[in-house]
Structure 1
Amino acid sequence: MLFKGLEVSVSGMQAERVRIDLAASNLANVNSTRAEDGQPYRRKVPVFEAVLDSYSNNIPIYKVRVKEIQTDPSPFKLKFDPNNPDAGPDGYVRLPNVDPMREMVDMMSAIRSYEANLTAFNTHKDMILKSLEIIRV
């Protein structure tokens, strides 16, 4: 039970790492007008869930995990560019449904959450080490 706090923080860091990776992938594909399926790139978002890990003194301990990665169903942006090879018969090119500003905000939020989990991890680790010091004396 001593290390459950560390495990909870690690699960949070793993979830935020996925969120950071997806935001980076979304940003990298902001101008990708054709993916493997021939459609423009669709924004990807993680779906998190709390998973009951165990109980400590009748208090539930939850970890977080990525349940799935969904594609954003919002419509593609349209840009008039009749010379683009991906333009339709009307001259419009469908662009990814990625908003760079939104992705930057999501990435910054994920980085801050990762840092908060790292701080909690280090604080818990320090408390364990101090406890071991007290026991040793």
Structure 2
Amino acid sequence: MPIKPIRQPALLPVPGQQVVRPMFKSMGIAASGIAAQRQRMEVIAQNIANADVTRGPDGQPYRRRDVVLEAATSQTAVYNPGTPAAQAMGSSVASNGVFGSPAFDVPVTADGPKPIEVPVLSAAGGVNGPLGGEYGVRVAGIAEDQGQGRLVYEPGHPDANEAGYVRYPDIDTTQELVKLMDAKRIYEANAAVFSTAKSMLRAALDI
């Protein structure tokens, strides 16, 4: 069998092949899950803290917020080198998102977070499709609850209406705590995946 005099070095990227190796890609997917669940926990904590706020900067009761997650693509993945989101990670531009990435930004105004329109995500897409999840997860935005909130009869409250009812945010602290526990479990699962992948890489270096 003839031997080619010039061979491609095994450790250098092959032209046309993705630079991120499978093991590092696994760590990137897990890291995206950690970042997303971290922001989800922050939003849940904000909801619980403002469960009794009857007057915000706009004079209206606080509106419950939910983090909308979507499967990241090759163009929106934060931990995929070469994408706009990944390049922004090292940018010096100020950002209010998780890990300083605009991919996790929420539009803000002088009075606080601004509600954004979140499109309905299609369930279509295969493993290699736009919603395949092979690039991890990203925060699509933060949506505000459009409900009217609950009415509580408190005639002596400063924000009571003519009938003596006060409009409170539509927040059930029990449900928020359940969501917080769910986010915590998913955060821990992604952290375990990241730790396992790191251990496998360390073991591969010792071979």
**2:144: which partner in 1?**
71
Q: TM-score, normalised by structure 2?
A: 0.61
**1:40: which partner in 2?**
61
Query: Superposition pairs for residues 1-137 of structure 1, below 5 Å?
Result: 1=21, 2-53=23-74, 60=128, 61-134=134-207
Structure-2 separation of matches of 1:124 and 1:74: 43
Structure-1 separation of matches of 2:38 and 2:165: 36
Q: How many residues align?
A: 130
Aligned-pair identity in percent equals: 42
CA offsets per residue over residues 50-91 of structure 1, 9 Å max, x none? Answer: 01237xxxx642210100000012231000111111001111
The unaligned stretches of length 5 or more in structure 2 are 1-20, 75-79, 81-126, 129-133
Please tell me the root mean square deviation across aligned C-alpha atoms, in Å: 1.2
The structure carrying a bigger strand percent of its residues is: 1
Report runs of 4+ in structure 1 exceeding 3 Å deviation: none
The structure carrying a bigger helix percent of its residues is: 1
Larger Rg: 1 or 2?
2
Q: TM-score, normalised by structure 1?
A: 0.91
